[in-house]
A and B are shown apart, each in its own frame.
Chain A
């Protein structure tokens, strides 16, 4: 009995040491993420030079931008990866106006993950109906957000203008520098310089730019995957605490807890996939999990903001601007759609009716996934190309 206490203490110390090691890994991975975003920016500048706008001329049609964002995110299954890459491209000269629809598309593409997770309940009819509606409510909300905000953005450029004003205030405040010394540049530039001077210098500038972009994209993809895995293990306890405190407290608390859990696990797919089985079991109703899903949309914007801190130089303000567009867009969508009772009900109605049909015939599910995430985007892109946009 007396020997058990030191043994317990030893086990606890070992567990704490393991946690410290995991946190150190996360710090290292975040640093790698920042380097990768900067690498994409530098590579894009090198490859495209002053022709960045022409290179992305195909995406100057907003529909094409949406499609690129949707399909890329649906295939990679990580909106954080896609938004970080977009930040990196903006850092290299991609115009913000072209990047905005891509960010909106990433929001749609990310919803495929929890829809796939809900398919795991397919053998139990009632469970599947609840889980599928909990997953697709996120899809319908994000589709509605695009339907409302994309035309407004094309007509008035509200998100772009507001985010630019906010980024001027933030970047002008010298938040990342002190007495002219830029911390981020000092942290991120050495590995970039090492790579570009020693590894990529043997290639012609365009090829070395393309190789830098490829390495950056691959690094972001792997880093976000590993961060997600580590944080999921480390943060599940915290997430439980946050969810416990949100039970029975209404929608605002649900939105806040969804945001915080997503910031902690750095993945909206993880957050929304967590609640699909909770809804499937019938313990939480669709109306109860709806605000939590919206919180995930807001919380996921932290990754792009984090990525934007890596960017220095003339395009740094635009990188911050696109990250703020992501935050503004998702926050405004929640305020406008969830804040308006009539609009709030539309995703609920659509999700319930689709789930009802899906339980009767699973072909509806297959048709829905292929249409929303692949067929409609491809038809739109082909149509707009044929029409000469």
Chain B
């Protein structure tokens, strides 16, 4: 390998290292942001705790959507 090629290879390796470091840094930053959002959501757990109480309303809403889709399907055929 010539001197020029050797230098070029080293330069590319250095640039890859820099990119990998910044990628690692960005991943760590993303993880912090995600975890902050998760902690915030957990702080509002009371709101979700009541979801189970509304399951009959959920079923009612779902059945109306299903009936609508069924009608559309029958209309097409």
* Residue interface bits A349-381, CB-to-B below 8 A is 1, else 0: 000000000000111011000000000000000
Given the complex, which residues of A lie within 8 Å of B58, measured CB to CB? Answer: 116-117, 119-120, 122
Say whether A273 contacts B51, CB under 8 Å.
yes
Nearest to B42 among chain A residues (CB) is A243
Contact of A278 among B48, B52, B65, B70 (CB under 8 A): B48
Q: Which chain B residues (27-77) contact chain A, with CB distance < 8 Å? A: 31, 34-35, 37-43, 45-49, 51-52, 54-55, 57-59, 61-62, 65-66, 69-70, 73
Contact of B59 among A116, A236, A244, A277 (CB under 8 A): A116
Nearest to A277 among chain B residues (CB) is B48
CA distance A247 to B36 in the complex (A): 9
Given known contacts A240-B45, A277-B48, A363-B73, A247 and B39 CB-to-CB distance under 8 angstroms: yes
* Chain B nearest Cβ from A270, distance in angstroms: 6
Nearest to A274 among chain B residues (CB) is B48
* Chain B nearest Cβ from A237, distance in angstroms: 9
Given the complex, which residues of A lie within 8 Å of B54, measured CB to CB? Answer: 120
Given the complex, which residues of A lie within 8 Å of B40, measured CB to CB? Answer: 283
* Chain A nearest Cβ from B13, distance in angstroms: 32
Given known contacts A116-B58, A362-B62, A284 and B52 CB-to-CB distance under 8 angstroms: no
Residue A248 is within 8 A (CB to CB) of chain B in the complex: yes
Given known contacts A240-B42, A244-B39, A247-B39, A232 and B55 CB-to-CB distance under 8 angstroms: no
Residue A113 is within 8 A (CB to CB) of chain B in the complex: yes
* Chain B nearest Cβ from A375, distance in angstroms: 16
Given the complex, which residues of A lie within 8 Å of B62, measured CB to CB? Answer: 119, 122, 362, 365-366
* Chain A nearest Cβ from B37, distance in angstroms: 5
CA distance A243 to B73 in the complex (A): 43
Given the complex, which residues of B lie within 8 Å of A281, measured CB to CB? Answer: 41
Say whether A236 contacts B46, CB under 8 Å.
yes
Chain A interface residues (CB < 8 Å from chain B): 113, 116-117, 119-120, 122-123, 232, 236, 239-240, 243-244, 247-248, 269-270, 273-274, 276-278, 281, 283-284, 361-363, 365-366
| With A120-B61, A248-B31, A276-B48 already in contact, 6 other A-B pairs whose C-beta atoms are closer than 8 Å | A113-B52, A116-B59, A122-B58, A244-B42, A274-B49, A362-B65
**Interchain residue pairs with CB less than 8 A apart (6):** A122-B65, A236-B49, A270-B52, A273-B52, A281-B41, A363-B73
